[in-house]
Amino acid sequence: MSISVGRDFFIAISFCLLSWCQFSFAYAGNELVKIETVKKAGSDTVIATNNSRMPVMVTLQLSSSSNLASSRNWPIQVQLAGGQSLELVEVSAANKQFGYTFYYNSQFVQGDAWARHDAGVSYRIPFLAGQAFQILQSADGPLFTHTTVATRYAVDINMPVGTTVIAARAGIVVEVVRQFADNGKAEAEFFDKANYVRVLHDDGSWADYVHLMQNSTQVQPGQRVEVGNVLGLSGNSGFSTTPHLHFHVQVNQNGTIISLPFRFRNAHDGVFTPLYQTWLIPDAQNLTVSKTKTKKTLRECLPTGKAIDDAVIRCLSS
């Protein structure tokens, strides 16, 4: 008789607390990474499937066992590429005359655990607008909510709903959430209701653009974006008390998600570190706009019932 039990468990790997806002990404264990035990003749095999486009580090911890022979030593730690499925371990009875049992826990963390952020990279101001917007929270100022290692160097940029958000650095879009309404509130039920786009960079780090307007994103998972490509429009979704854009750069550092210090760049200031209560001046837009033309309001560009499309993006950008 052979008995095996696997217990799927993981830690929410991208938890972020924001100035005036906070949000968390929460996934069920069988949505992002699936761990399953498959019975074979006289043995069991544990298989992990990464359903995301991000690399993930999967760890199996053996909690208890009896009469167990294993093809690998425990704990088991394996990195899976986006979309990859892999047999992690095969177990069987050490003494074939008796049955065996094994119980295990599984955890995963997104990101390449061996990635190293290119410290020489600077990031374009991540929005297009005819004015500068102020930084509400950054690493050098009072940290209202950016108090974890995952959020330490994040910035919150004050901006009205409908501001065009662009890619600050080239990469592959790996996650898009767009369905939540722009009714942000500082209440726990809004923690996981922020719209966002996640872009994975070539060095294994990634950037998150958070609190976007509902259904405004213009990119899809798997799509490559270059610097300046439109991602969507800013909004007020999730745990938030004022419209703004949350931006951070993160990396998996040996199994822990950490935020990284980064530098912005623009034509006005060159390369610089974002500082609390300073103003970010976006570079000139690549749009032809009459100097005598008055600015359009959100209501003019996006009438009730109209879908977000390229024409709306151009209208709001002007």
pLDDT tens profile 111-158 = 999 899 999 999 999 999 999 999 999 999 887 878 899 999 999 999
Per-residue tokens: 292: 């005598």
How many of the other CB atoms lie within 10 Å of CB of 305? 5
Residues 6+ apart with CB under 8 A from 294: none
Picking from 86, 110, 134, the residue at the C-terminal end of a domain is: 110
pLDDT value at 305 more than 70: no
Q: Note whether 105 and 16 are same-domain residues.
A: yes
Q: Say what the pLDDT of residue 182 is.
A: 87
State mean pLDDT over 5-24: 32
Chain segment 72-123, per-residue pLDDT in tens: 999 999 999 999 999 999 999 999 999 999 999 999 999 999 899 999 999 9
How many of the other CB atoms lie within 10 Å of CB of 82? 17
Q: Note whether 131 and 90 are same-domain residues.
A: no
Q: Note whether 132 and 238 are same-domain residues.
A: yes
Instruction: Please tell me the total count of domains within the chain.
Output: 2
Task: Give the DSSP letter of residue 181.
Answer: -
Determine the Cα–Cα distance for residues 242 and 239; give it in Å rounded to an integer. Answer: 9
C-alpha closest to that of 37 among 92, 115, 83, 75: 92
Q: What is the torsion angle, in degrees rounded to the nearest 10, for the CA atoms of residue 305, residue 311, residue 317 and residue 318?
A: -110
What is the extent of the structural domain holding 251? Answer: 123-317
Picking from 61, 89, 110, the residue at the C-terminal end of a domain is: 110
Q: Note whether 309 and 174 are same-domain residues.
A: yes
Q: Note whether 173 and 303 are same-domain residues.
A: yes
- Between residues 136 and 13, the one the model is more confident about: 136
- Between residues 8 and 161, the one the model is more confident about: 161
Q: Say what the pLDDT of residue 35 is.
A: 95
pLDDT value at 20 more than 60: no
Determine the Cα–Cα distance for residues 309 and 311; give it in Å rounded to an integer. Answer: 5
Q: Note whether 44 and 166 are same-domain residues.
A: no
- Between residues 311 and 255, the one the model is more confident about: 255
3-state secondary structure of 316: helix
- Between residues 133 and 239, the one the model is more confident about: 133
Determine the Cα–Cα distance for residues 208 and 196; give it in Å rounded to an integer. Answer: 7
Determine the Cα–Cα distance for residues 51 and 108; give it in Å rounded to an integer. Answer: 12
The answer to whether position 287 is within a domain reads yes
- Which ranges of 131-192 would DSSP assign to H, the alpha helix? none
pLDDT value at 318 more than 90: no
CA 39 from chain centre, in angstroms, equals 35
Residue with tokens 């008789």: 1
Sign of the C-alpha dihedral computed for residues 179, 181, 182 and 186 taken in this order: negative
The answer to whether position 10 is within a domain reads yes
- State what percent of residues in the chain have pLDDT above 90: 68
Q: Note whether 280 and 161 are same-domain residues.
A: yes
Q: What are phi and psi of 301, to 5 degrees?
A: -80, -25
C-alpha closest to that of 258 among 169, 146, 157, 170: 146
200 in Cβ contact with 126 (< 8 Å): no
State mean pLDDT over 295-306: 58
Picking from 66, 87, 110, the residue at the C-terminal end of a domain is: 110
Chain segment 30-82, per-residue pLDDT in tens: 478 999 999 988 999 999 999 999 999 999 999 999 999 999 999 999 999 99
- Between residues 22 and 169, the one the model is more confident about: 169
State mean pLDDT over 213-229: 95
The answer to whether position 116 is within a domain reads no
Task: Give the DSSP letter of residue 286.
Answer: S
Q: CATH number, domain at 246?
A: 2.70.70.10
Q: Note whether 286 and 165 are same-domain residues.
A: yes
